[in-house]
Amino acid sequence: MAKLKTKFACTECGTESPKWLGKCPGCGQWNTMVEEKETVVKTQGMGSPLIQTKEKPRPIIHIESGQEKRIETTNQELNRVLGGGVVPGSLILVGGDPGIGKSTLLLQTSHALASKNLTVLYISGEESVRQTRLRADRLGALTDKLYVLCETNMEQINDAIESVQPDFLVIDSIQTVYDPNVQSAPGSVSQVRECTAHFMRVAKIKGIATVLVGHVTKEGAIAGPRMLEHMVDCVLYFEGERHHTYRLLRAVKNRFGSTNEIGIFEMGEEGLREVNNPSELFLSERPLGVSGSTVVAAMEGTRPVLVELQALVATTNFPSPRRMATGIDHNRMTLIVAVLEKRMGMFLQTQDAYLNVAGGIRLDEPAVDLAAAVSIASSFRDAPTRPYDVFFGEIGLTGEVRGVSRAEQRVREAQKLGFKRVIMPSKSLKGWTPPKGIEIIGVETVAQALSIAFA
Ligand code: TYD
Ligand code: MG
């Protein structure tokens, strides 16, 4: 007879405790500990099947190397984020807000793979097969190698995997699946953990590339135990502004590739479309010749993107002026404002300053500093910069402009989009030949950059 155990687990982070607590010691959230009754079943444990095979340690030079085999999807953006395609036997977790387009993305990917003659099994625990069919009609995702099942019971899902023998498996979503041997509700911490461990074993043993869709909590992390992220091979987040049509797919963990890459999609009537030229999209609504607007050449992973930065500086009604930044680190903005005040003598203490990265993308690299400084100065002076100028460079506390990486790629992207001048750190001019047809101005200080921008 299996032993019945009671414990309490946090629904946000998965921390467990033998007694109830008002505040989770793991993540500090209140009222998130819930009781879970768990039958202790003898599972094989979550150890990977690789460990269970009786292999002897081998000298590393005797292990065959070579590239991971990959299944390329027809979707270039998805391939990019995954590091070149889906690795057979890998377990991928895709998280994102409800309604962002996770099911759409995976159904389209399933269709693309099924059209390449792979067998795909799509398990939907949230929508009926009819709803999935309706969506597939809309997306034009009808192929006979794409199997759909509406099921949440793990044992039934296992049977389906046995009978279909898929190459690619989608579980939409992991929070709806339950293992009848575990006596807590679907979506609870132990259910999510057990089911994920199970899918991991299936993926590794059968070599099925498996995608789990995960819900996110209000903090934006994937719901369920934090451990989930450690168990899987890749964690992708699908994000975007609800009111914008485009979506970003970002890897936060990838055992088979880099985590710097993002994929950009646009949601349309026929589902998600890849955006191969993001700069054009981000600049499409740019007003020309308006003060406070500049263009930065930023890097998203290995890809340069040109994005518009907007600043608004206006007299404050508050005792202490407001500093608000969207899409860029708030502390970075405060620093830039302080440099402009101290080194450039701009009197910003009585001014509210807002800085916005247009289009809802997030820019995390310091190379956006210079464009941000020029934007703020432009709005403060109410003087527009030239519409075909591009800026990039990091700003130091003494007002110096510091070098940044990949200057050449940024310049080439600016040239490709028809920009006429690039104002950039002179330190980044070494080691490459600037292309012809675009004027490149190296600067050492913010003061120099401003005098060129407003000349
Ligand atoms: P969905 O994939 O159901 O989101 P998730 O699985 O992440 O919850 O996406 C639903 C949204 O996408 C919904 O608001 C409608 C929109 N949508 C389109 O705009 N075009 C389409 O072709 C499809 C299928 C959905
Ligand atoms: Mg969905």
- Same structural domain, 270 and 288: no
Q: Is residue 373 part of a domain?
A: yes
Which of these, 410, 406, 343, lies nearest to 371 by C-alpha position? Answer: 410
Give the SS3 label for residue 190: helix
pLDDT tens by residue, 273-314: 988 888 888 888 888 889 999 999 999 877 889 999 999 999
Please check whether residue 447 is in contact with residue 343, taking contact to mean a CB–CB distance below 8 angstroms: yes
For the CA of 175, the nearest ligand: 2
Please check whether residue 227 is in contact with residue 219, taking contact to mean a CB–CB distance below 8 angstroms: no
Pocket-testing residue among 176, 215, 267, ligand 1, by greatest number of atoms within 8 A of Cβ: 267
Q: Is residue 269 part of a domain?
A: yes
Pocket-testing residue among 94, 102, 104, ligand 1, by greatest number of atoms within 8 A of Cβ: 104
Positive or negative CA dihedral for 258, 259, 263, 264?
Answer: negative
Please check whether residue 438 is in contact with residue 421, taking contact to mean a CB–CB distance below 8 angstroms: yes
- Same structural domain, 267 and 285: no
Which of these, 288, 247, 264, 265, lies nearest to 418 by C-alpha position? Answer: 288
Residues 6 or more apart from 185 whose CB is under 8 A from it? Answer: 178, 191
Residue nearest to ligand 1 atom 2, measured at CA: 101
Residue spans of the chain under pLDDT 50: 44-51
Q: Is residue 49 part of a domain?
A: no
Give the Å distance between the CA of 102 and the centre of ligand 2: 6
Q: For residue 256, with 0-12 CB atoms within 10 Å meaning exposed, 13-18 middle and 19 or more buried, which class applies?
A: middle
- Same structural domain, 221 and 364: no
Q: Is residue 50 part of a domain?
A: no
Domain that residue 20 falls in: 6-37
CATH of the domain at 258: 3.40.50.300
99 annotated to bind ligand: yes
Radius of gyration of the chain from Cα atoms? 26
CATH of the domain at 356: 3.30.230.10
pLDDT tens by residue, 68-121: 788 888 888 899 899 888 999 999 999 988 888 999 999 999 999 999 899 999
Residues 6 or more apart from 236 whose CB is under 8 A from it? Answer: 81, 82, 92, 93, 94, 95, 249, 250, 251, 252
Q: Is residue 11 part of a domain?
A: yes
Give the Å distance between the CA of 103 and the centre of ligand 2: 4
Positive or negative CA dihedral for 431, 442, 311, 348?
Answer: positive
Q: Which amino acid is at 266?
A: E
Please check whether residue 52 is in contact with residue 205, taking contact to mean a CB–CB distance below 8 angstroms: no
Q: Considering 242, 276, 310, which residue would you say is the last residue of a domain? A: 276
- Same structural domain, 236 and 372: no
- Same structural domain, 289 and 411: yes
Q: For residue 37, with 0-12 CB atoms within 10 Å meaning exposed, 13-18 middle and 19 or more buried, which class applies?
A: middle
List ligand 1's pocket residues with C-beta within 6 A. 96, 98-104, 135, 138-139, 267, 269-271
Residues in the chain: 455
Which DSSP letter does residue 308 get?
Answer: E
Residue nearest to ligand 1 atom 22, measured at CA: 271
Lateral strand order in the sheet of 16-17: 16-17, 4-10, 33-39
240 annotated to bind ligand: no
- Same structural domain, 89 and 212: yes
- Same structural domain, 292 and 268: no
Which DSSP letter does residue 288 get?
Answer: S
- Same structural domain, 272 and 147: yes
d(CA 373, CA 336): 6
Q: Is residue 51 part of a domain?
A: no
pLDDT for 399 equals 95
- The angle formed by the CA atoms of residues 282, 284 and 288, to the nearest 5 degrees, is 110
- The angle formed by the CA atoms of residues 188, 223 and 329, to the nearest 5 degrees, is 160
98 annotated to bind ligand: yes
- Same structural domain, 245 and 267: yes
Q: How many domains does the chain have?
A: 3
pLDDT for 50 equals 46
96 annotated to bind ligand: yes
d(CA 86, CA 92): 9
Helices (H), 316-443: 330-344, 369-381, 407-416
Q: Considering 241, 276, 311, which residue would you say is the last residue of a domain? A: 276
Give the Å distance between the CA of 268 and the centre of ligand 1: 9
329 annotated to bind ligand: no
Q: Is residue 404 part of a domain?
A: yes
Residues 6 or more apart from 174 whose CB is under 8 A from it? Answer: 93, 192, 195, 196, 199, 212, 213, 214, 224, 228
DSSP for 139-163, written as a single string: HT---TTEEEEE--BHHHHHHHHHH
Tokens read off for 113: 């793979």
pLDDT for 47 equals 46
| Mean residue pLDDT across the chain | 88
pLDDT for 221 equals 66
Q: Considering 227, 257, 276, which residue would you say is the last residue of a domain? A: 276
221 φ, ψ to 5°?
-90, 160
- Same structural domain, 103 and 206: yes
Separation in Å, CA 185 to CA 103, 297, 420: 23, 49, 61
- Same structural domain, 154 and 268: yes
- Same structural domain, 422 and 331: yes
Q: Is residue 327 part of a domain?
A: yes
